[in-house]
Amino acid sequence: MGPRRNRYLRLPDAKQAALIAGARDSEPVKGLTHGYYKYPARFSPQFVRAAIETFTRRRDLVLDPHVGGGTSLVEAVALGRDSIGVDISELAAFVAKVKTTVYSEREIDELDAWSKCVGASIDIHGPTIRFADYAERGYYKHLDHPSRWRLRKAIEQGVWSAIKLGTPRLESFGRCAVLRTAQWALDGRSKQADVDEFRAYLEDTAKAMVEGARAFRAAVRSNGPHRREVIVLNRSAAGLEDDPTFAEGRAPRLVVTSPPYPGVHVLYHRWQVDGRKETAAPFMIANKLDGAGSSYYTMGDRKYPGLKTYFDSIRSTMASVAALSDSRTVVVQMVAFSEPRWQLPRYLDTMEDAGLTECFLPVLKGQRDGRLWRSVPGRRWYSDQRGETPGSNEVVLLHRKAADAPAERTGRTVTSQPRPST
Ligand SMILES: C[S@@+](CC[C@H](N)C(=O)[O-])C[C@H]1O[C@@H](n2cnc3c(N)ncnc32)[C@H](O)[C@@H]1O
C-alpha cells in the first residue's frame, strides 16, 4: 500500500464555492445546443461548466464515459477544451454528436431556410414514406395505433424532409429536430398532440436549434481559430483504455460523468405512449439501432440481489477510467441512489476496487457527511419500489487515482499535452 494522499482537494475557496453553486443550480436547462433533446437524467449545464472551469484549463482533455445526450461535451468544447464522450447507446451517441457539430455559416443558413419551411412538409393529406426496414424490425410498434397513425405519418414526413437536406451533417440536424418534436408529442403525455401542434412545434424547435447552432459556433470560435477536438465513441466504457482513440496515452485532466444510478429506474432508450407502452421510435428517427433491452442501458436489472450486475459494471467502467487517468486527473460524478444507506458505501467500495480514491472539498468539512448533495425537485424518474428516497437526492462524488494504482498503462508516457491544433 502506497502512502495515503491527502483526501482534501487543494482548491481556492472561490472555486469550491463555484462548484457547489453549479451543482445546486436548479435553473431550467437552456443555452447553446442543450435544448436539442431532453435526454433522461441529463446534467445541469451549470454543473458541468463549473466542474470544467474548476479543474481544467484550455486545451485540457475532458472525458465523459457515460455521456448520454452530451451535456458535458457541449460545455467542454464551448470552453475550448478537447473532449471525448462515450456511451453504449446509439441514440445517446447520435444526440451528443449533433449537439457538438460546429456547423459552418453556410450550413447554418441552409438550416435556417429549412426551419422556415419544414412545417409545410407535414401534410396529413400528402404522401409519406414508410421506413420498411424499421417497420419489419418492430420499431413501429404502438405507432400504427388508430389514435396515433397521424403522428406517425407526421414523423415520417419530417424525417423525409431531413433526409432531403442532402448531406449527413444537415440530415442529422433535421432528424434531431424531428426527434425532439416527436418526444414532445408522444412521450409520457396524457393527451396526445395533434398534427397541427406537431407542425408548429417542429418549426419552432428547428428555429430554436438554428439559434443554438449559431450560439455554439460563436462560443467555439471565441476560443480562437483552432477548433478543439470532440470525439463521441459508441461503445461501452469498460475496456476503454484499449480503444485506439487513447493510443497516444493522453490522460484526461477531468472525468465528469453521471453513470446509470443504482436501483433507480430511468428509461433511457424508449418513449412511453398511452400510459406505459414503450416505443423504440427514437432510434428509427435517428436512423440508429436499439441495444438489447432496458438493462443494457442501466447496467443490469434491479432484480439481481445486491444489484450485482450493476456494481460489476461500475467496477469495469471505473477501472478503465482509472487506467486512463494520471495523478492529476480529477473524477467528478453525479449519482443518485434508491437506497443510499447501503448503496453509497457499496458504490464507494466499488470505486476503491477500481483504483479510485474519494476526496473532498475542504469547505464542506463538518457539514453532513462532507459530501456535496443536491436535491432535484420534480425529477421524472422512478426509484425502486422498496426505495427509501424518491430518487431525487443526488450526490457529487470526487475521486482521484489511488496512490497505489498502477501509474501508467503499458509503458506509455501519460501526459496531458496540448494537441496540435487542427
Ligand atoms: C445518467 S445517463 C448520462 C446523462 C448525461 N450526463 C447527460 O447529461 O445527458 C447514463 C448513460 O450511461 C450509459 N451507459 C450505460 N452503460 C454504459 C457503459 N457500460 N458504458 C458507457 N455508457 C453506458 C447509458 O446509455 C446512459 O446514456
Closest by Cα among 64, 65, 94 to 289 = 94
- Provide the grid cell at 8: 482534501
Q: Find the 138 Cα to ligand 1 centroid distance in Å.
A: 24
Tell me how far the alpha carbon of residue 103 lies from the centroid of ligand 1, in angstroms.
25
Q: Summarize pLDDT for 186-240 with one digit per residue, the tens.
A: 999 988 899 999 999 999 999 999 999 999 999 999 998 777 789 999 999 999 9
Q: Give the Å distance between the CA of 96 and the centre of ligand 1.
A: 11
Q: Distance, CA 68 to ligand 1 centroid (Å)? A: 5
Could you give the 3-state DSSP secondary structure of residue 129?
A: coil
Ligand 1 atom with least separation from CA of 71: 8
Distance 164 CA to ligand 1 centre (A): 31
Number of the ligand 1 atom closest to the C-alpha atom of 261:
1
Query: What distance in Å separates the CA atoms of residue 344 and residue 42, rounded to the nearest whole number?
Result: 20
Size (the chain), residues: 422
Tell me the pLDDT band of 6, cut-offs 50, 70 and 90: low
Indicate the pLDDT class of residue 411, thresholds 50, 70 and 90: very low
CATH superfamily of 13-101+227-263+302-401: Vaccinia Virus protein VP39 (3.40.50.150)
Res 419 pLDDT > 50: no
- DSSP assignment letter at 417: P
Q: Ligand 1: which atom is nearest the Cα of residue 41?
A: 1
- CA-based end-to-end distance of the chain: 43
- Residue of 67, 74, 394 to test ligand 1 pocket, by largest number of atoms within 8 Å of CB: 67
Binding pocket residue ranges, ligand 1, CB within 6 Å: 39, 41-43, 65-66, 68-69, 71, 86-89, 92, 236-238, 258-260, 268, 297, 299, 313, 317
CA of 118 to the centre of ligand 1 (A): 32
Predicted model pTM: 0.92
pLDDT score of 5? 53
Atom of ligand 1 at shortest distance to CA of 39? 9
Cell numbers for 398: 470526487
For 142-179, the pLDDT digits (tens) are 988 888 999 999 999 999 999 999 999 999 999 999 99
- Confirm if 251 and 63 have CB atoms less than 8 A apart: no
Condensed to tens digits (0 to 9), the pLDDT of residues 236-282 reads 999 999 999 999 999 999 999 999 999 888 889 999 998 889 999 99
Q: Which has the closest alpha carbon to 74: 41, 115, 44?
A: 44
In sequence order, the β-bridge partners of residue 231 are 84
47: helix, coil or strand?
A: helix
**CA of 313, closest atom in ligand 1:** 19
The C-alpha atoms of residue 186 and residue 287 are separated, in whole angstroms, by 18
| Residue spans per domain, the chain | 13-101+227-263+302-401, 105-221
What are the strands, taking DSSP E only, across 254-407? 254-257, 264-265, 271-273, 277-279, 330-336, 356-359, 372-375, 382-383, 393-401
For residue 333 the three cell numbers come to 460524478
CA–centroid distance, 3 to ligand 1, in Å, is 34
Pocket test for ligand 1, best of 72, 87, 258, 381 (most atoms within 8 A of CB): 87
Which of 66, 98, 233 most suits a substitution to test ligand 1, by most atoms within 8 Å of the C-beta?
Answer: 66
**pLDDT (tens digit, 9 = 90+) per residue, 113-137?**
999 999 999 999 999 999 999 999 9
Question: Nearest CA to 323 among 253, 238, 408, 404?
Answer: 408
Ligand 1 centre to CA of 260 (Å) is 6
For residue 155, give the nearest of 170, 140, 169, 133 by alpha carbon: 140
Closest CA to 23 of 359, 395, 309: 395
DSSP-assigned letters across all residues of 62-108:
EEESS-TT-HHHHHHHHTT-EEEEEES-HHHHHHHHHHT----HHHH
Task: Give the atom of ligand 1 at the shortest distance from the alpha carbon of 317.
Answer: 19
Between CA 177 and CA 159 the distance in angstroms is 9
Residue nearest to atom 2 of ligand 1 (CA): 68
* Mean predicted lDDT score pLDDT of the chain: 89
How far, in Å, from the CA of 298 to the mean position of ligand 1?
8
Q: What is the 3-state secondary structure (H, E, C) of 215-276?
A: HHHHHHHCCCCCCCCEEEEECCCCCHHHCHHHCCCECCCEEEECCCCCCEECCCCCEEECCC
3-class secondary-structure state, position 383: strand
Residue nearest to atom 7 of ligand 1 (CA): 42
High-pLDDT (> 90) share of the chain, %: 73
| Residue 42 burial (CB count, 10 A) | 18
The maximal CA–CA distance of the chain, rounded, in angstroms, is 73
Backbone angles phi, psi at 375, to 5 degrees: -105, 145
Judge whether 101 and 169 are in contact, CB under 8 Å. yes
Q: Which atom of ligand 1 is nearest to the CA of 237?
A: 20
